[in-house]
């Protein structure tokens, strides 16, 4: 039986936008029509399949609690979110914490600090600390993904809050987890990294605290953040693992830890989609896949 050109075109299109089959698209559309939305099933879908850009922001907003499960109240809640955004913005203007030349990401940081009662006195404003820089890195990446500033702020705020609340205790253990999986996949590379003193100096902050913001281009980063917003920080370990595996030949040729770390902080950007795809495969290999039906 001859191939159906129209069917092949549809398959190629859905694969390009993030679906491997029409059935996955239908499954997600059915989930998004539920009222109330089944957040657990949406989370499971996001863990099992990639989210295309046409649905990603909406799903993130639901998974992060920006929008409630009841879709008939989304418009009202969205209006409240916008009003709150404007109120915080005006408060910062009155307190002279911002002006027309303040970078948007720094505005988001001050808004976040004000809402969390961490805003410093204007007379005591100091250079950004490491935690602030983590927030700013995530903000810069989110700005490249989300056009609307209101949505952008709420996604940054809730992403950072959820990440720190759910995974704050786990983050210090991720380097050991990375070491374990590297010993399973490429023990010779692990030994090399140990012998050169590189293992202790790997850019764990960039990888695990900033969730690869500033390391991966946004097109690849979104697929990693799909998994983080749906409840997994372990995906970060496997992205780091795959980066090490993908560039092991380069790393074997570097004996100075500073050179290796500099390379890993500035990895080539053209192959990152393949790196993330292989990382997700490793994640499923070691951690399995969610068992909930979609």
Judge if the upstream peptide bond of residue 169 is cis by omega within 30 degrees of 0.
no
d(CA 6, CA 62): 34
Q: How long, in residues, is the chain?
A: 294
pLDDT score of 129: 85
Query: Closest Cα to residue 142, out of 134, 152, 131, 132?
Result: 152
Q: What is the pLDDT of residue 290?
A: 55
* pLDDT for position 27: 85
Q: What is the pLDDT of residue 22?
A: 61
The pLDDT assigned to 126 comes to 61
pLDDT for position 134? 97
* Distant-in-sequence, close-in-space partners of 83: CB < 8 Å, separation ≥ 6: none
Q: Considering only the C-alpha atoms of the chain, give the largest distance between any 2 of them, rounded to a whole number of Å.
A: 76
Q: Which two tokens stand for residue 206?
A: 């960039």
Q: Average pLDDT for consecutive 10-residue bins of the chain (294 residues)?
A: 42 44 77 93 91 90 97 96 97 91 95 94 69 97 97 98 96 98 98 98 98 96 96 96 98 97 96 96 86 39
Q: How many CB atoms lie within 10 A of CB 238?
A: 28
Instruction: Count helices and strands (H / E) in the chain.
Output: 16, 0
Whole-number Å distance between alpha carbons of 242 and 245: 5
The pLDDT value given to residue 127: 65
pLDDT attached to residue 53? 81
Using the CB atoms, write b or e for 185-197: b if 16+ within 10 Å: bbeebbebbeebe
Q: What contacts 206, CB < 8 A, 6 or more positions away?
A: 212, 214, 215, 265
Alpha carbon distance 90, 72 (integer Å): 29
Which domains does the chain carry? 24-287 (1.10.472.80)
Of 185, 202, 184, which is closest to residue 193 (Cα–Cα)? Answer: 202
pTM confidence score:
0.89
- Nearest alpha-carbon partner for 142 in 213, 212, 85, 88: 213
Q: What is the pLDDT of residue 150?
A: 98
Instruction: Give the pLDDT confidence score for residue 123 in this predicted structure.
Output: 55
């Amino acid at each position: 039986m001859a191939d159906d050109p129209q069917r092949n075109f549809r398959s190629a299109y859905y694969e390009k936008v993030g679906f491997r089959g029409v059935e996955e698209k239908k499954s997600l559309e059915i989930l998004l029509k539920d009222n109330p939305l089944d957040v657990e099933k949406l989370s499971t879908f996001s863990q099992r399949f990639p989210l295309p850009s046409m649905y990603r922001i909406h799903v993130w907003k639901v998974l992060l609690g920006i929008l409630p499960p009841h879709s008939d109240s989304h418009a009202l809640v969205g209006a409240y979110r916008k009003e709150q955004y404007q109120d915080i913005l005006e408060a910062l203007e009155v307190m002279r914490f911002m002006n027309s030349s303040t970078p948007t990401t720094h505005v988001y940081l001050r808004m976040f600090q004000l809402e969390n009662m961490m805003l410093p006195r204007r007379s005591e404003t100091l250079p950004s600390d490491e935690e602030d820089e983590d927030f700013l890195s995530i903000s810069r990446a989110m700005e490249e993904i989300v056009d609307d500033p209101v949505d952008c702020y709420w996604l940054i705020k809730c992403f950072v809050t959820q990440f720190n609340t759910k995974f704050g205790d786990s983050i210090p253990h991720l380097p050991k987890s990375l070491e374990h999986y590297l010993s399973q996949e490429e023990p010779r590379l692990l030994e090399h990294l140990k012998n050169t003193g590189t293992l202790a100096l790997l850019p764990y902050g960039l990888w695990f605290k900033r969730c690869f913001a500033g390391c991966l281009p946004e097109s690849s980063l979104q697929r990693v953040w799909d998994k983080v917003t749906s409840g997994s920080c372990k995906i970060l370990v496997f992205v780091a693992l795959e980066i090490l595996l993908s560039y092991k030949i380069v790393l074997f040729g570097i004996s100075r830890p500073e050179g290796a770390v500099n390379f890993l902080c500035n990895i080539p950007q053209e192959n990152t989609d393949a790196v993330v795809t292989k990382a997700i495969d490793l994640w499923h290999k070691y951690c399995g896949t969610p068992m909930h039906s979609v």
